[in-house]
Each structure stands twice: as structure tokens, then as C-alpha cells.
Amino acid sequence: MEAAASSVKDGGDLRDTELRLGLPGTEAPEKPAAPSTRGSKRALQEDDDMESRANSRPLEADSGEAPAAKAQIVGWPPIRSYRRNSFPPRKVESEAEAEAEAEAAGLYVKVSMDGAPYLRKIDLKVYKGYKELREAMDNMFKCFTQGEVSRKEGCSSGSESAITYEDKDGDLMLVGDVPWEMFISSCRRLRIMKGCEVRGLRTRQYS
Amino acid sequence: MVGGFRWAAMFPDEVWEHVFSFLPADADRNAAALVCRAWYRLERRSRWRVFVGNCYAVEPAAAVRRFPEVRAAAIKGKPHFADFNLVPSDWGGGAEAWVEAMAEGWPHLEELRLKRMVVSDDCLELIARCFKNFKVLSLVSCEGFSTAGLAAIAANCRYLRELDLHENEVEDNCLHWMSHFPESCTSLVTLNIACLEGEVNVSVLERLIGRCPNLKTLRLNHSVPLERLVGLLHRAPQLVDLGTGKYAAQHHPELFSRLESAIAGCKNLKGLSGFWEAGPTFLPAIYSVCEGLTSLNLSYATIQGPELIKLISRCKNLQRLWVMDLIEDEGLIAVAASCKLLQELRVFPSDPYGAAQPISLTEHGLVAISAGCPMLHSVLYFCRQMTNAALLTVAKNCPNFTCFRLCIMEPHTPDYITRQPLDAGFSAIVESCKHLRRLSLSGLLTDLVFKSIGASANRLEMLSVAFAGDGDAGLHYILSGCKNLRKLEIRDCPFGDKPLLDNAAKLETMRSLWMSSCSVTLGACRQLARKMPLLNVEVINERKRGLPLELQPDNCPVEKLYIYRTVAGPRSDTPSCVWILR
């Protein structure tokens, strides 16, 4: 397994080349994102995409640190209390039930694409295999791939990309190596890598 | 009126009563009752449906005395902002006084609908015991009762047709309350238990609905598992309105096909709701009935945009759609293309307190709907950004709005492109929509928007304002205009004493006014109370510091103010945080 953690975003920071458990660009190993996590936990889990996203949302730019949970005003926004609680889903008694709930509720993971201003979420349960997943992801991000120019000189056009994922252990893995069932049970988040980073990885296409 | 008494006697009473029976609207009946004493007498004996918009506006005994033949009563209690925890929990709105008076004077009562009231189990037991012909119980946004009270209703109301529990807080202390429906109960038409938190005995429920052939509406609660829904539907294929229970389960194709065929078997299905924890797996099971649906409530379903689009595109006859903002602009564009008969849209926030979220629900979705759905007249829309241009477009596209409630979730949010206040946008709405009855404002707004509303919103009956306006002028525009205003609720606006005192008479033409976190002082409230004996001026100060309210100086700020017209005088059930000024 290559040192997949050695991707370099801006080329200068040695931290980016060290072998770590977490994804490059984060300070600490990321906890797996529960599909229904909301609120202040977002502050810990967003990566560098946060900045570009903040710039494209003029409302957020004025409010200081965008990811921080805002102080809640009593009775605002005007929704009834049972609506505040209904998402995320209700608590469950046992772990087994929790797993069953998570299973039944779909396996949502975040999908990021290098250079896209915001992330998406997909339900891995919906897809039967790698081919469908690949198609869905192409579809989701096609608006960002048209007319893309690579940031680095000397690289070929940005059409080269690879789908990677972060597994239960926090390692960055190439999608397609393991059987589908094993993949969806260990995948915590997906990332579409573009351009030169892809060169270092195997570019085997999925069956 | 010349010879008023004589011409009324030209016809026997029965003829006049028959004539009055063609006046269903309370306003018309009230007018008829003012014509002469004979008509007053006749009308009061022939009115059998009464609506009391504010339970404290009249003494229960007085209402019962005046209309002795009432069969159906609807009563509302707490102010609307109680829904958002702005009203202290012990404020009032208790139902006992009414239920006791009704038990005494209306033994033939058949229908009772209560909204935002505190209903105890004792009340429910009284209802179950005293009204021999009781048929309809509807409790909306109420609290104070438990499933033990429901057991009493189930056991004793032999002709019960409707048990409609909508968004109540119900304590679950009687697990088998549903077993109290006797075998002889076969008359149910509506059973809505969606708000119950506790377990439901599904086998008992199956037997109950199996013996009620006229059941049209069945709304289950979250505890009913998806597997059991199949059995329930087999026993009630005549359903018109179904609220599912939990809409998720371990995926296996057998359950899917059984569910699919059970739902397809309900050929009259027009409304669907529930869908707790729904994911994409079982959603396609309802595809077969989509074409016939007129009402779809997916506001508890955390389904993503693409699946929502696949579903809703099939619902060509949809008139009402409630959905989460997960539908995003793209989804609303699809709705606009598919649902040409849409009349009412509500979009709820999936993440009301999230800091930064990738939900792409913006003004574009609202504009698309306004352009694509010509019959749209009622909107509730939670979003994070808006522009005046978008609102102008919406106003132009939809001059028939009766209800427009826009909630931009961050207070004081301006037009995000021009950075201007949203005055122009909302002004366009009130100027274009001549039939607008209900309006909720949000975003950055100056006094200008209130000038437009006061001048143009002639049919407006209810206005909700939050974090808006510059000063007193704003409130003055509203109170001096808006001819038909009935309910005004305001929070966190810089409105003070002057417009209240200058427009005191207006308050008697309205049902109620709520103001919280504004700039009103105790002195103005005292003046108002002295000047207007037919108003109850309730000052609510929850933080109990120092002197009691009677001894506080005039310049003491008032946290929360609730003013309503009444012929009953000050109520006697005020808690310690509420003072009624005289």
C-alpha cells in the first residue's frame, strides 16, 4: 500500500508528506461521520473545502468563523419542537437496534471532489456495485468537471481522476480493490482526487 | 327598521330558522342576530356550530347559555407563539372551565375541537361520561393528557367517528388504551394517533380497523413497524388518507413486494404522510398510488433530492406538498414541472441550527414553483437566502396567494446580492396579492415594508413579524391600516408605546396582539388597560426580580405582552408570571 497520505495541496508543507492515519489537510484523525450528525460537530469534520465554500456564500462571510455553531435564539427559527428533534432520528435502546436503524436509514457518506465548492452526500445502499457508484458520482459532479483547467503546469487536463475513500481506520484507499459488500461496510467518506495526485495511484478502472 | 317587530312575526319561527340554516358563516349569523330581538332569539336557538377563537374572550357559561342547541364547538387557547416556546408553560388555556360548562349546558354535544389548550385526563373523562352522542374529538397542539384519558374516550364514546390527535404532547401511561374500544365500536371514520410517542398494540389496532368499514383516515405513530403496515392496509383498503408508521426496515425484497401490493390495493388513497426515517429503499412501494395523490407529507422523511424527485414527479395531481429542504432547488424545479395542480407548499428546514450546510435550497426553488404552479396559493418556506428580485417575480407569478410565510433563518438577512433590505420584495407581495390573508415576514426589513402592508394588505387577517422595523412608525402603519387584521404577533422589533396608545381602538377590532422583546413599557400598558376596558392587557414577566409588577415604575420594560378583546373581564387562572392590568 503506497503512502497515499502524501498528496500535496500547496507543495510546501512538510506535514502533508508525513505518514498519518488521517486524511491530508486535517489536524487529527477524523471520527467517522454518523449520517445524521448536525450542529457544532461540523466544525471538526470539514476540511479545506470549507474556505472556498465560505467565500461563495456571502451571508456566512460576515459571521466570523463560519463553522462555529451559532448561539441559538429562543423560539427561532419558528418550528415546533418535535420538528427540531425529528432529524436526526430518535434515540434507540441498544446497539443492535442502532445498527439496524442505521442500516435501514441508508448509509450516507460525504463525497468531496477536489476543487468543488461544496460536498455532496450519497447513500451507498442504493448502488449495486462500483460501476453504478462511479456513474452516480460522475453525474453528481459533472457541473464541476466541464472546462476544468489543471492547477499545475505540465499536468495533463483535469480529466484524470480517481475515486478514493477513507475507511474505518482512517486510511485513504483506492475504490475498487475490495468486494463491494466489504467496501460499503468500511467506507466512511469518499473523495474524488483530480489531476497530478492521481498519477501516483493505480488507475485501474472498476469492473 | 319600520315595524320591525311585526314583520318578523309574519312567518312562524320554523321558517326563519330554515332561512338561517343557509347562513353557515358565523359572521352572517352574528349580523342577523343584530337585526331585531326576534331574530336574535331565533338565531341563537338555531345555531348549532360555535367557534371560539380565544377561550378567554367569553365566559363559557355565557356562551352555553346563549346558544343552547350547539352540537359542534371549536375552541382555541394559547397564542400562536406558544408553538415556539415563547409563552410560559403555565400561562393558561385550560379546558376544564369550558368542558364543565358544556357538560352542564350542551349534553347533546357531538363534536369538540380544541387547539393549543391544556386538556387534562379529567376533561377527557368528563367528555366521555357526559356527552351521550359524542362523535368527534379533535385535539390539535394540546397537552396535559395521557393515554389513560384516551382510554376513557375509547371505552365510553359509543358512536365515536373521529379521534384526531394532531401534534399533541401526550403522556404515555396506559399501554393498552386502544383495547378499551369495545367490540361494538364500528363507527370510526378517522383515527389519527401520529403524535403518540409510545408503543401501540398493532394486533388490537388491526382488529379495531377490521371492524370499522367506514374508516377513511388512519394515521399511525412512529412505533408501528413497516412490516405491520401491510396487515393494517389489508384490513382497510378503503382508506383515503394514510399516515404510515416508521417507514424503514431491514431490506428484503419480500417485504417490499408485499408492501407494494398492499398499498396498490388501496384504490382510494388520496393522502399520504408519516414516513418516519424513510430511506430510498421502500419509497418506490408507493409509486402505484402516486397518480391519485392530492396530499403528500414527506416532512419527516430525510430522503435526499434525487429520490424525492423520482417520487414527486409521479404525483401529477398533487395539491398539497409538505417536504424537507433536502428537496433543494433542483427538486422544486421538478415539482414545478410535474405538479401543475399544486395549491399548497411547505418546505421545512432539515438542519435549523446547522452552521454551514450544503443544502442548495434558495430563492430559485421558490421562484420556480411560483412560475410552474398556477394554482399555488399557500406557501411556507424556510431558506437561508433571498432577493428582492425573486420576491418580485413570485409576486408577479402568484397574485392569488392567500397565505405567504417566508422564514429566512438568519435574522436581519438582507438581499444577498444587492445587500438591500427586503422591503421591496415583501411590498410587491402585498401589493400584488389582493387576497392575502396570512403573512409572515423575515429578513432585513425597515419601516417601509410596514407602510406598504398597512396600505395594501386589505384582506390580511394574520401577520407575524420578527426582527424587523426601525421604530414606532412600523407598528403604527400596521395598526392604522390593515382593515381586517385579526391577529398580530411580533417579536424582537423596536416598537414602543406610542403606536400602541395611538391605535388603542384598533385593538378592540382584533382578536389578539402579542409583542415580546420589543420596547413597550409598563406605563403604556397601564394606560392602555385604563383606556380600554374591553381589552385584557396581560403583561408576562418571567424573570422575577425585585418588586412585584404593581409596584414597578412606569418605565419598567415589558418582556412579553398579550392583549386580547374580551367580554369576560380579567381571567381568574393567571399564573404568577402573568399580570392583567386594570
Q: Over B217-240, what HEC string results?
A: EEECCCCCCHHHHHHHHHHCCCCC
State the smallest CA–CA distance between residue B70 and chain A in angstroms. 33
> CB-based contacts of B407: which residues, under 8 Å, 6+ apart?
A77, A78, B380, B381, B382, B383, B440, B442
Beta bridge partners of B118: B94, B143
- Alpha carbons B559 and B556: distance in angstroms, whole number: 10
- Alpha carbons B486 and B57: distance in angstroms, whole number: 13
Q: At what angle do helices B226-235 and B202-210 cross, to 10 degrees?
A: 20
Q: Are strands B438-440 and B403-408 parallel, antiparallel or unpaired?
A: parallel
Q: Are strands A161-167 and A187-194 parallel, antiparallel or unpaired?
A: antiparallel
A82 to B413: CB separation less than 8 angstroms, yes or no:
no
- Alpha carbons A148 and B85: distance in angstroms, whole number: 50
Assigned C-alpha cell, B321: 406538498
| Identity of the residue numbered A154 | G
B302 to A89: CB separation less than 8 angstroms, yes or no:
yes
User: What is the per-residue pLDDT for B111?
Assistant: 98
Chain B touched by A36 (CB under 8 Å): yes
Q: Using CA of residue B330, residue B331, residue B334, residue B336, what is the dihedral sign?
A: negative
Number of DSSP helices (H) and strands (E) in chain A, helices first:
7, 5
* Interval A75-86: pLDDT, tens: 999 999 878 765
User: What is the per-residue pLDDT for B544?
Assistant: 66
Three-state SS at B579: strand
Assigned C-alpha cell, B159: 358512536
Q: ipTM of this predicted complex?
A: 0.89
Confidence grade of residue A173 (pLDDT, cut at 50, 70, 90): confident
DSSP character at residue A20: -
Assigned C-alpha cell, B570: 380579567
- Alpha carbons B159 and B169: distance in angstroms, whole number: 25
Cα–Cα nearest to A173, from A163, A161, A164, A184: A164
B355 to A68: CB separation less than 8 angstroms, yes or no:
yes
Cell 477536489 sits at which residue? Answer: A114
The enclosing H or E element of B190 equals strand B190-192
Assigned C-alpha cell, B115: 387547539
Contact B84, A75 (CB under 8 A): yes
Chain A touched by B251 (CB under 8 Å): yes
Count how many Cα atoms sit within 13 Å of the Cα of residue B102 in the half-sphere of its side chain: 29
Cell 384504490 sits at which residue? Answer: B267
> CB-based contacts of B424: which residues, under 8 Å, 6+ apart?
B388, B391, B392
Tell whether the model's pLDDT for residue A48 goes beyond 50. no
User: What is the per-residue pLDDT for A195?
Assistant: 67
B residues 292..311 contacting A (CB < 8 A): 299-300, 302, 304
DSSP character at residue B556: P
Chain B touched by A85 (CB under 8 Å): no
* Interval A92-121: pLDDT, tens: 333 444 455 555 556 788 888 888 888 888
- Alpha carbons A186 and A178: distance in angstroms, whole number: 10
Chain A touched by B280 (CB under 8 Å): yes
Q: How many angstroms separate the first and last alpha carbons of chain A? A: 21
Tell whether the model's pLDDT for residue A16 goes beyond 80. no
Higher pLDDT, B401 or A188: B401
Three-state SS at B138: strand
Cell 412505533 sits at which residue? Answer: B223
User: What is the per-residue pLDDT for B582?
Assistant: 81
Assigned C-alpha cell, B135: 362523535
Cell 495526485 sits at which residue? Answer: A197
The enclosing H or E element of B121 equals helix B121-130
Confidence grade of residue A36 (pLDDT, cut at 50, 70, 90): very low
Q: In B134-214, which residue ranges form alpha helices assigned H by DSSP?
A: 147-156, 202-210
A residues 172..201 contacting B (CB < 8 A): none
User: What is the per-residue pLDDT for A159?
Assistant: 57
Three-state SS at A136: helix
Three-state SS at B148: helix
Cα–Cα nearest to A141, from A186, A200, A184, A194: A194
Residue of B nearest to A122 (CA): B304
Q: Which residues of B touch A73 (CB under 8 A)?
A: 411
Mean pLDDT of each 10-residue bin along chain B, 582 residues long: 61 86 87 91 91 97 96 98 96 97 97 98 97 98 97 97 97 94 96 95 96 98 95 97 94 90 97 94 95 96 92 97 96 97 96 72 97 98 97 98 97 97 98 98 98 97 98 97 97 97 97 97 97 96 77 93 97 94 88
Count how many Cα atoms sit within 13 Å of the Cα of residue B433 in the half-sphere of its side chain: 29
Pick from B279, B324, B355: CB nearest A66: B355
Contact B227, B249 (CB under 8 A): yes
B349 to A58: CB separation less than 8 angstroms, yes or no:
no
DSSP character at residue B216: -
Contact B99, B123 (CB under 8 A): yes
Considering A194-198, A202-206, B185-189, the range whose residues carry the highest mean pLDDT is B185-189
DSSP character at residue B81: G
Number of cross-chain residue pairs from A and B with Cβ atoms under 8 Å apart: 121
The enclosing H or E element of A143 equals helix A130-145
> A154: how many CB neighbours lie within 10 A of its CB?
6
A38 to B353: CB separation less than 8 angstroms, yes or no:
yes
Tell whether the model's pLDDT for residue A88 goes beyond 50. no
Chain B touched by A134 (CB under 8 Å): no
Residue of B nearest to A117 (CA): B358
B265 exposure class (CB count in 10 Å sphere: 0-12, 13-18, 19+):
middle
Cα–Cα nearest to A108, from A93, A94, A91, A126: A126
Contact B264, B289 (CB under 8 A): yes
Chain B touched by A58 (CB under 8 Å): yes
Contact B454, B480 (CB under 8 A): yes
B215 exposure class (CB count in 10 Å sphere: 0-12, 13-18, 19+):
buried
Pick from B300, B354, B356: CB nearest A53: B356
> CB-based contacts of B427: which residues, under 8 Å, 6+ apart?
B448, B449, B452, B453, B456
User: What is the per-residue pLDDT for B98?
Assistant: 98
Three-state SS at B106: coil
Q: Which residues of A touch B358 (CB under 8 A)?
A: 53, 118-121
Q: In B481-534, which residue ranges form alpha helices assigned H by DSSP?
A: 497-502, 504-508, 522-531
User: What is the per-residue pLDDT for B414?
Assistant: 97
- Alpha carbons A33 and A46: distance in angstroms, whole number: 11
Chain B interface, best mutation among A50, A72, A79, A139, by max B CB count within 10 A = A79
State the smallest CA–CA distance between residue B45 and chain A in angstroms. 40
State the smallest CA–CA distance between residue A155 and chain B in angstroms. 30
B residues 76..95 contacting A (CB < 8 A): 81, 83-86
Q: In B163-290, which residue ranges form alpha helices assigned H by DSSP?
A: 202-210, 226-235, 253-264
- Alpha carbons B416 and B388: distance in angstroms, whole number: 9
Assigned C-alpha cell, B568: 369576560
- Alpha carbons B313 and B334: distance in angstroms, whole number: 7
Contact B573, B117 (CB under 8 A): no
